[in-house]
Amino acid sequence: MTTPGAGTPLTVGIDIGGTNIRASVVDGTGEVLDTVQYPTPHSAVALESALDRAVRELADRHTLDAVGLAAAGFISRDRTTVRFAPHLPWRDAPVAKRLSERLGLPVLLEHDANAAMWAEYRFGAAAGGHNVVLIAIGTGIGAALLLDGELYRGTHGIAPELGHLQVVPQGRDCGCGKRGCWERYCSGTALAETAIELLATESATSPLAREIVADPGALTGRRVADAAHDDDPLAARVMADFARWLGLGLAFVGDIFDPDLVVIAGGVSSSAPLFLDEAREEYAAAVTGHGHRPLARIRTTQLGEAAGMIGAAELARSALIAGH
Amino acid sequence: MTTPGAGTPLTVGIDIGGTNIRASVVDGTGEVLDTVQYPTPHSAVALESALDRAVRELADRHTLDAVGLAAAGFISRDRTTVRFAPHLPWRDAPVAKRLSERLGLPVLLEHDANAAMWAEYRFGAAAGGHNVVLIAIGTGIGAALLLDGELYRGTHGIAPELGHLQVVPQGRDCGCGKRGCWERYCSGTALAETAIELLATESATSPLAREIVADPGALTGRRVADAAHDDDPLAARVMADFARWLGLGLAFVGDIFDPDLVVIAGGVSSSAPLFLDEAREEYAAAVTGHGHRPLARIRTTQLGEAAGMIGAAELARSALIAGH
């Protein structure tokens, strides 16, 4: 007698975040069997040692066949090298090859949004989709594309960059050097900034307004979402503004890809009841040819923060089976 | 001894425009052997009769094996039906099937920008490309995508709609019902509108300025381009504005698709020397991660107005050979 998932290779998926690295053993059904977590070291050498250590710790308890890494940044098209990662110490680093040599296991590298998309497609909110756009809304916006049932990585392996589409000429300054980028209006960071902007032009005496006046620097997107949940009127206006920008972006995505499904992920997605219906309406009104075309379904993530890890593990498993 | 292209099937490609229908016999090397042209009738019945007549006229002089139709509008995913075409009398019309029954030949239908892309890919400016975006700039903007070497048609067969991406909130009114759409700033129509706007806020005494003052309604994008060619200072400022908007759109396209190649087509492309270098510079500066990523090559159409017709014929030929 065998348990479900047994007999398939077990692989490790590692989400390499700017703060923590989390490594999980995942089976062929997408189930997470075991997880370890370390703080992310600040040097490339220490980071690679930490990855090595995480896998070895899991290998003590499981028979492992391959490793998948998920990282935010520019990944080479052959998925061996991190070209540039804003929150990690790697620059043109052949990470997959180096870790594979240390561990004696196949190692695959993937952009974290692509890995999350793959997990949602195989085991989550994107199951059954054909043309799917994943929009991960947190501090900024990450995105991934599944087109005709395959991850689309572009010519140079650079995942789709939707967060820095300029939606407002001469708009809010962005860390990317441009102005008016979509993620400056539609992200957790933007929630706080919109609240402060609204308060600068309109008087408001809600609990959130008083907090901002007392200490504007302490305001977070999370706090705005919580206040909106508690029916704070200022926070409600911020969420309505956010919903409009999200709907506009969904219309962009609809115009460009004509997807059957959009998955909203990232930290802000947990507040979806506060904005998703309004965003859907804005999208339906703003997509070109509205009334003459079917609309995409819009869903929220099922796998949440584990998606990148699960997807990296599943991609490593698929590559192993395909003999790559 | 055989001539090049002989022995391959001959097919007809028909470009069904709002003003004219043009039908050509095309061989397997993309060469146009024979062409007929009629004005586009205003009823669906008369339009289909005209298509029938065009093919029969060509069939009197050539042995034809299949027909490809190229039309602007929403085409069903199975490429048999025009769902909606703004400048044609068809609504949910199974055009390919009806014409095939009349002619006794296989008939394939394709969005005109997709057909043009396919022609450029097989025989023109996109040859050797892998991820290519075609941007046809005329009265408005049409677009097509070749992703991983295949035409990408989306979930519902609706070609990518880039012209109505909202690039200016509360910007210029658009016939689509929205405001600030990209094609309201980056099209032949936009050239005239920008000239009039500039003249409303700044005094100018150039030849073009005097013409506009005399009869603003007579101004065309073509006239602005011609004036820019003659070094008219107002027209030069209009072209600089156009180049900025094109560069911004190219940055959008670069961010979204990471293409290796962008082909600029449509009527405005014939004025490329007046704007393309500036647009390239704007694109290079505005694409996200500039300096950390390779840029796409940007080229202008090689096949010009014949591209849609040639592409439709070639798609019909490929389908025939594949036995579809």
Chain B residues in contact with A296 by the CB 8 A cut-off are: 155
Question: Are B152 and A148 an interchain contact pair (Cβ–Cβ within 8 Å)?
Answer: yes
Return d(Cα B216, Cα B212) in angstroms, integer: 4
Return d(Cα A60, Cα A230) in angstroms, integer: 47
Among residues A276, A165, A138, A143, which one has the least CA distance to residue A220? A138
Q: How many CA atoms lie within 13 A of A293 on its CB side?
A: 32
Question: Are A165 and B294 an interchain contact pair (Cβ–Cβ within 8 Å)?
Answer: no
Return d(Cα A49, Cα A103) in angstroms, integer: 11
Q: How many CA atoms lie within 13 A of A322 on its CB side?
A: 7
Return d(Cα B55, Cα B12) in angstroms, integer: 7
Q: Is the dihedral of CA B6, B11, B15, B20 positive or negative?
A: positive
Q: Answer yes or no: is pLDDT of A265 > 60.
A: yes
Residue A275 pLDDT level (bands cut at 50, 70, 90): very high
Query: What pLDDT is recorded for position A4?
Result: 43
For residue A153 the two structure tokens come to 């990585």
Chain A residues in contact with B150 by the CB 8 A cut-off are: 148
Question: Are B258 and A154 an interchain contact pair (Cβ–Cβ within 8 Å)?
Answer: yes
Give me the residue from B155, B157, B164 closest to A255, CB to CB. Answer: B164
Question: Are A288 and B176 an interchain contact pair (Cβ–Cβ within 8 Å)?
Answer: yes
Residue with tokens 């990232």: A266
Q: Answer yes or no: is pLDDT of A1 > 70.
A: no
Mean pLDDT by 10 residues, chain B (324 residues): 56 95 97 97 96 98 97 88 88 96 97 97 97 95 94 87 91 91 96 94 87 93 96 96 96 94 96 97 91 90 97 96 80
Closest chain A residue to B259 measured between Cα atoms?
Answer: A155
Question: Are A289 and B166 an interchain contact pair (Cβ–Cβ within 8 Å)?
Answer: no
In this prediction, residues A101-129 reach a mean pLDDT of 97
A vs B: CB pairs below 8 A? 113
Tell me which amino acid residue B129 is: G
Chain B residues in contact with A248 by the CB 8 A cut-off are: 166
Closest chain A residue to B77 measured between Cα atoms?
Answer: A258
For residue B225 the two structure tokens come to 């381009």
Among residues B92, B33, B82, B18, which one has the least CA distance to residue B317? B33
Residue A5 pLDDT level (bands cut at 50, 70, 90): very low
Please give the mean pLDDT across all residues of chain A: 93
Query: What pLDDT is recorded for position A324?
Result: 60
In this prediction, residues A72-77 reach a mean pLDDT of 86
Among residues A105, A102, A96, A82, which one has the least CA distance to residue A11? A105
Distances from the Cα of A262 to the Cα of A23, A243, B16, B104, B145, angstroms = 27, 15, 34, 42, 20
Is A128-301 in the same CATH topology as A11-119+305-322? yes
> Which secondary structure element, helix H or strand E, spans residue B262, and what is its range?
strand B261-265
Closest chain B residue to A289 measured between Cα atoms?
Answer: B176
Return d(Cα B98, Cα B258) in angstroms, integer: 40
Q: Answer yes or no: is pLDDT of A201 > 90.
A: no
Residues of B with CB under 8 A from a CB of A: 74, 83-84, 130-131, 147-148, 150, 152-158, 160-169, 176, 178, 248, 251-252, 255-260, 286, 288-289, 292-294, 296
Return d(Cα A248, Cα B142) in angstroms, integer: 20
Return d(Cα A136, Cα A303) in angstroms, integer: 12
The number of beta carbons lying within 10 Å of the beta carbon of residue B229 is 14
Query: What pLDDT is recorded for position A107?
Result: 97
Among residues A154, A151, A147, A159, which one has the least CA distance to residue A314? A151
For residue B52 the two structure tokens come to 């029938």
Sheet holding B141-147, edge to edge: B150-151, B141-147, B132-137, B261-265, B297-300
Residue B62 is classified by DSSP as S
Q: Is the dihedral of CA B18, B311, A294, A250 positive or negative?
A: negative
Return the CATH superfamily for domain A11-119+305-322: ATPase, nucleotide binding domain (3.30.420.40)
Give me the residue from B148, B161, B292 closest to A255, CB to CB. Answer: B161
Question: Which site among B76, B130, B155 would you substitute to test the A interface, given the most A Cβ atoms closer than 10 Å to its Cβ?
Answer: B155
CA distance A291 to chain B (A): 11
Say which residues have a Cβ less than 8 Å from residue B11's Cβ, sequence separation at least 6.
B25, B26, B64, B65, B66, B67, B68, B313, B314, B316, B317, B320
Query: What pLDDT is recorded for position A7?
Result: 56
Query: What pLDDT is recorded for position B183?
Result: 96
- The radius of gyration computed from the CA coordinates of chain A, to the nearest angstrom, equals 21
Among residues B108, B119, B121, which one has the least CA distance to residue B157? B108
CATH fold, domain A128-301, is Nucleotidyltransferase; domain 5 (3.30.420)
Residue with tokens 């030849």: B207
- Least confident range from A35-39, A155-159, B38-42: namely A155-159
Chain B residues in contact with A169 by the CB 8 A cut-off are: 167-168
Return d(Cα A199, Cα A212) in angstroms, integer: 8
Q: Are A308 and A112 in contact (CB under 8 A)?
A: yes
ipTM of model: 0.86
In this prediction, residues A174-191 reach a mean pLDDT of 93
User: Please, is A204 exposed, middle or buried when counting C-beta atoms within 10 Å of its C-beta (0-12, 13-18, 19+)?
Assistant: middle
Residue A35 pLDDT level (bands cut at 50, 70, 90): very high
Question: Are A166 and B83 an interchain contact pair (Cβ–Cβ within 8 Å)?
Answer: no
Residue with tokens 């087109």: A147
Boundaries of every domain in chain B? 11-119+305-322, 128-301
The three-class DSSP label of residue B6 is coil
Question: Which site among A141, A182, A253, A293 would you substitute to test the B interface, given the most B Cβ atoms closer than 10 Å to its Cβ?
Answer: A293
Return d(Cα B86, Cα A282) in angstroms, integer: 24
Query: In sequence order, what DSSP letters do the residues of A56-114 get, joined into one string?
Result: HHHHTTS---EEEEEESSEE-TTSS-EEE-TTSS-EEE-HHHHHHHHHTS-EEEEEHHH
Give me the residue from B154, B165, B296 closest to A252, CB to CB. Answer: B165
**Backbone phi, psi, residue A204, to 5°:** -150, 145
